[in-house]
Amino acid sequence: MNNFEFYSPTRVIFGRGVVSRLGEVCGVLGKRAFLVYGRSSIKQSGLYGQVKEQLSKAGVSVVEHGGVTANPVLAHAEEGIRLAKDEKVDFILAVGGGSVIDESKAIAAGACSDTPLWDFYLKKAVIGKALPIVAVQTLPATSSETNQAGVLTNPETREKFSIRSPHLAPRAAFLDPELTFTVPLSYTSYACFDIMSHLLEGYFTATDPFAPVQEGFVEGSVRAVMASLEKIRKDPRDFNARASVMWAGALAWNGLANAGLEGASIPNHMLEHPLSAVYDVPHGAGLSVVMSAWLEMKKREIQPRILKFGTEILRFPGLSRIPRDEDKADAVIETFRAWIVSVDCPLTMAQAGVKDPDVEELTRQALKLGRLWGISGYDEKSVRGLYEACR
């Protein structure tokens, strides 16, 4: 295991009705909140009214910045930065899913700097300060409520890049599983696949010969998400299943799973980001498209990891009766694909709504991300071939 530093300062407030404590937490951060949210869902659900009431009781005035999209864009974040600076807000309150929290992180950093925002995403500048962030999560998937990272899309360059800084870790995260009862089943499946991918990326790519803590955490968490999704598809208001997904979503990408792991990287995110940047594919749906194709491409290189995935996570029946390891790996991948189909996630770009993908542009972006993120082992031919296999 490599040396590592784990930093998770976010205070998590979890359970039914926890939004009723929002005022006591926000009140100590200042008297002027910058409320970031999506479009109409929090108003339709009544959450918007609860948030405003809590802030009012705490004596906190509100400046609003709504309209965050599913894949948040640079121009909208820059608009938020200008407004936050003009209004001299004290902290950011992000109410929504990972996209809302990600844009809030961009605004939090930009409001404390005169650096062009996109320079942070290109790694031309380092975030030195940010406004405090409080998150109310409504669509668990990205761990943005508990981690230091955020993504943003630049429509002009059609690129989806990320930032990371300890200054961006939310001060507090409010997680009420009841807020997720009305999330459509399709987006619940995409979110669950997103959570699983965050856990599985390091699981598949790590080269440590012995890492039972991290592996056990991943295996148990992925099984829990799969089992919970099955229950939610039968009863979308199953509190314990929604709660399990919400907690897994908060933990999956906060640094625990990959802490100290030699070789752990995120190639599937490198491959998916161009899909959601260019074609606005939901992130979890894009991940379900690329991951099984990636496993097929890498199956000889990571065969032992695929077999462990089959036995410890998929609990593949009869795997031991298949004589050749190569055939075992094929069987595991096909079982995984069947599960993806069973939860209505796409396996191909066409199923995700991308009928005629610009493979050259996707390849260019993926390779650029690989350089920015330090992911090696991928060249133009291999990346193009994977995208072709995903059509």
User: Of 123, 154, 179, which residue sits at a domain end?
Assistant: 179
Are 129 and 140 in contact, with CB atoms under 8 Å apart? Answer: no
**Alpha carbons 314 and 316: distance in angstroms, whole number:** 5
| Residue 208 to residue 215: CA distance in whole angstroms | 10
Residues 6+ apart with CB under 8 A from 387: 271, 349, 357, 359, 362, 363
For residues 284 and 149, membership in a common domain is answered with no
- pLDDT for 6-57, tens place per residue? 999 999 999 999 999 999 999 999 999 999 999 989 999 999 999 999 999 9
Same domain, 109 and 35: yes
Indicate the helix (H) or strand (E) that contains 6. none
What digits encode the pLDDT tens for the residues 147-179? 999 999 999 999 999 999 999 999 999 999 999
Q: What is the mean pLDDT of residues 309-321?
A: 93
Residue 5, in any domain of the structure = no
Q: Is residue 68 part of a domain?
A: yes
pLDDT of residue 146: 98
57 and 40 inside one domain: yes
Predicted pLDDT of residue 40 = 86
Q: Pick the last residue of a domain from 179, 209, 238.
A: 179
Q: Is 320 part of a structural domain of the chain? A: yes
CA atoms within 13 A on the CB side of 271: 32
First-to-last C-alpha distance (Å) of the chain? 38
Looking at the structure, tell me whether residues 241 and 144 fall in a common domain.
Answer: no
* pLDDT the model gives residue 388: 97
Cα-based distances in Å from 203 to 50, 168, 200, 302: 40, 26, 5, 10
Residue 190 shares a structural domain with residue 138: no
Q: Note whether residue 47 is domain-resident.
A: yes
pLDDT band at residue 310 using 50, 70 and 90 as cut-offs = very high
My answer on whether 222 and 334 are in the same domain is: yes
- Does residue 1 belong to any structural domain of this protein? no
Q: CA-to-CA distance for 287 and 50, rounded, in angstroms?
A: 34
What sign results for the dihedral spanned by CA atoms 125, 130, 135, 138? negative
Domain of residue 49 covers 11-179
- Within-domain flag for 375: yes
Contact 25, 278 (CB under 8 A): no
Segment 224-253, tens digit of pLDDT: 999 999 999 999 999 999 999 999 999 999
> Is residue 3 assigned to a domain?
no
CATH of the domain at 368: 1.20.1090.10
Residues 98 and 247 in one domain: no
CATH number assigned to the domain comprising residue 89: 3.40.50.1970
Is the domain of 285 the same as that of 202?
yes
| Residue where one domain finishes, among candidates 179, 194, 223 | 179
Residue 154 pairs with which residues in a beta bridge?
A: 159
Give CA–CA dist 184/194, Å, rounded. 15
Say whether both 243 and 313 belong to one domain: yes
pTM: 0.96
